[in-house]
Each structure stands twice: as structure tokens, then as C-alpha cells.
């Protein structure tokens, strides 16, 4: 497997579509994510359980359009995926469909647009203790060097940013008992309702 998810600009031409999952009406100049998947991105998807490895990332769905604009490349589209999340109240693991709406520019590393961006200032900053605030527009700009556009960082960022900040397993999740830590949600098992059972010496008994 390739180390990084790099696409030759010659292959992009004026535009190129990158499809994820099964896509009906496949666009003419297109490549499939599974065919260009790199070690780095696969490792990220597996270790963060963003998708189920046993399904070979078929749960990633969507289409990204890469379009040339002068010497820049614009990438936009949607990636739908099903990350493994942990409820902030009850710590229950659960999966939820999330859609990442993405839009970013790839500019040549030598261009003025990149040099003026916060990312470049941050990278070249001689005083690392001084914090530079990245504006949201800066975060949507990536650089490319030479004839290859590397998509790993962009895809990883896009999926991460789409994750819910405070995931809840269900809207009315009751969380955990503040005394003994028992989950307070009623659980249904084989059609039967099981109410929370506090530990023996819990003050809520």
C-alpha cells in the first residue's frame, strides 16, 4: 500500500472526482478512495475507529470534487461516515452517522497566498512560545509541493472536525449515578426492560 495519499496533478487535469463507497452514476474522470488509500490514512481510520475495519471502509460514502483554479486546486464535497463515539454522560460506546462537509484550497507552497496564511507563519515562526491564532480561513488552506497533492492531512482533518463535540448516545441520556457510577438509562434486553441497579452501599438506594 502507498505511504501517502498523493495524486499527480497531471491526473487531475482540470478536474477529478474522488468517490467513497458505492456511487451510482460514476463521474467520468474519477478515482475511488479504496484504490488510492494510503497506509497513513488507513492507520488513522483504524486506530480511531472512525469506520469499521471489517467492512473495508465501505461505510465511508461520498464524493469529493477536485477542480483546478489557476495554480490552485479547490476540493469540495461530502464524506459520510459512521464513527465509534463515546457518550459524554454515560460513557456508552455507540456509532452515529456523521457527514463531513468539506471545502479547502491547495495552493503551491511557494505562492503568495500560502506565504501569507497563518499556517505558513506558524511553520516558520522562530519564537515557538508565541502563540499564533489560526483563523478559520487558514485552516481550509493546504499547500502542495511539486506535482503531487497529498490528501491525507486534509481527509483526516475533515473527518475529525465533523465529529460531534459532545456526543450523546441518546438525547435524553440520564448518564451515570453520581454515587456509584451505574448507568441510569433503562436498558432493553430481549424485550425486557432492565432498570439501573445501584451497588449495595450506594446512597441512592
Interface with Zn ion (CB under 5 A), residue from 89, 114, 151, 159: 89
Least distance to Zn ion from the beta carbon of 85, Å? 10
Stretch that binds Zn ion, among 49-57, 127-135, 143-151, 176-184 (CB under 5 A): 176-184
Q: Give the number of residues in contact with Zn ion, rule: CB under 5 A.
A: 13
Q: In whole angstroms, how close is the CB of 191 to Zn ion at the nearest point?
A: 21
DSSP string covering 172-195: T---B-TTT--B-S-EEETTEEE-
Nearest-approach distance from CB 160 to Zn ion, in angstroms: 22
Cα separation of 158 and 101, whole Å? 8
Query: Distance between CA atoms of 81 and 95, rounded to whole angstroms?
Result: 10
Residues recorded for the chain: 205
The nearest distance, CB 84 to Zn ion, in angstroms, is: 14
Nearer to Zn ion (CB atom), residue 27 or residue 175: 175
The CA-atom distances, in angstroms, between 1 and each of 35, 40, 57, 134, 176 are: 9, 10, 15, 34, 44
Q: Identify the CA nearest to 136 among candidates 115, 153, 157.
A: 157
Among residues 38, 90, 141, 143, which is the contact residue for Zn ion, using CB under 5 A?
90
Nearer to Zn ion, 96 or 140 (CB): 96
Among residues 9, 163, 177, 184, the one that binds Zn ion under rule CB under 5 A: 177
Amino acid at each position: 500500500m502507498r505511504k501517502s495519499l498523493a495524486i499527480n496533478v497531471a491526473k487531475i487535469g482540470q478536474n477529478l472526482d474522488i468517490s467513497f463507497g458505492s456511487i451510482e452514476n460514476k463521474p467520468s474522470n474519477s478515482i475511488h478512495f479504496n484504490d488510492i488509500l494510503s497506509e497513513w490514512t488507513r492507520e488513522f481510520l483504524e486506530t480511531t475507529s472512525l469506520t469499521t475495519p471489517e467492512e473495508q471502509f465501505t461505510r465511508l460514502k461520498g464524493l469529493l470534487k477536485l477542480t483546478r483554479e489557476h495554480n490552485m486546486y479547490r476540493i469540495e464535497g461530502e464524506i459520510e461516515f459512521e464513527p465509534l463515539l463515546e457518550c459524554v454522560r454515560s460513557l456508552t460506546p455507540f456509532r452515529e452517522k456523521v457527514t463531513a462537509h468539506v471545502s479547502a484550497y491547495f495552493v503551491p507552497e511557494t505562492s503568495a497566498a500560502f506565504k501569507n496564511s497563518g499556517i505558513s507563519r506558524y511553520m516558520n515562526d522562530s519564537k515557538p512560545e508565541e502563540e499564533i491564532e489560526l483563523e478559520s480561513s487558514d485552516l481550509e488552506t493546504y499547500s502542495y509541493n511539486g506535482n503531487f497533492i497529498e490528501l491525507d492531512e486534509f481527509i483526516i482533518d475533515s473527518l475529525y472536525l465533523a465529529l460531534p463535540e459532545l456526543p450523546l448516545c441518546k438525547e435524553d441520556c440520564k448518564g451515570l449515578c453520581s454515587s456509584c457510577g451505574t448507568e441510569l438509562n433503562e436498558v432493553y434486553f430481549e424485550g425486557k426492560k432492565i432498570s439501573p441497579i445501584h451497588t449495595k452501599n450506594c446512597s441512592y438506594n
